[in-house]
Each structure stands twice: as C-alpha cells, then as structure tokens.
Amino acid sequence: MSEAASSLESLLREALAPVEPPADLIERLEGALLSITEMAADELEAWELSAMRDPRNWARPAAAVVAGGAAGSALILLRARRRAKERSPSLDTLREAAERALRDLSRETRRLLD
C-alpha cells in the first residue's frame, strides 16, 4: 500500500510541477490585445449615427465597445505590471507604491487613447 501511495505521490508531484510560460508570451499577448483594441476602434470609427435609429444595428458597436474596453484595460494592466517588475525592488511605502501604480496606469491609458 505504501508503494502505491508513493507512486501516486510521485505522479501528483510530476503532474503539478510548475510550468514556465514561453519567453515571448507577454509580447504575443500584448500584440493580440493591441490588435483587438485597434479593431474595436476601427469599428467604432466606421459607425454611422444615422444607422443607430434601428435597434438591430446596435449589436456591432456595443460589442466593439465591450471588446475594445476589455482589451484596452488588460493591455494597460499588462504594461503597468511589466514596468513595475522592471523596477529595482526598494523599500517603498505603500502610499508611494500606490501613487506610482496610478501614474503608470494613467500614462498607459493616455498612450493608448492617443
């Protein structure tokens, strides 16, 4: 019985071992999020107000707003997190760290909106 438990434990340890993500995962994710954000912006740019009188035409712009907003928000957070990891660890107060995070988020938001 102990041999079976040992075997099961080794199988679980092997199955639950941490896996390192590919090195270019963040770049691919950032590219995909940027592409979705740009496609949503293009869709909204092509939007005609005169066509919005008919509620059947509301689906595409609404989907573009939701998809673009979600992708843009994820892109902002991804870039801010990467920038935070690049900084050297120091003994900051909680307030300084929060202020820096808010500045990073606002900078990335402005950069995406421009």
3-state SS string for 1-57: CHHHHHHHHHHHHHHCCCCCCCCCHHHHHHHHHHHHHHHHHHHHHCCCHHHHHCHHH
Q: Which helix (H) or strand (E) holds 80?
A: helix 59-86
pTM: 0.62
**How far apart are the C-alpha atoms of 75 and 26, rounded to whole Å?**
10
pLDDT at 66: 93
Q: Please give the tally of structural domains in the chain.
A: 1
Contacts of 7 (CB under 8 A, 6+ apart): none
pLDDT at 1: 54
Domain assignment of residue 62, given as a range? 2-113
Write out residues in the chain with pLDDT < 50, as ranges.
none
Contact 71, 33 (CB under 8 A): yes
pLDDT at 32: 93
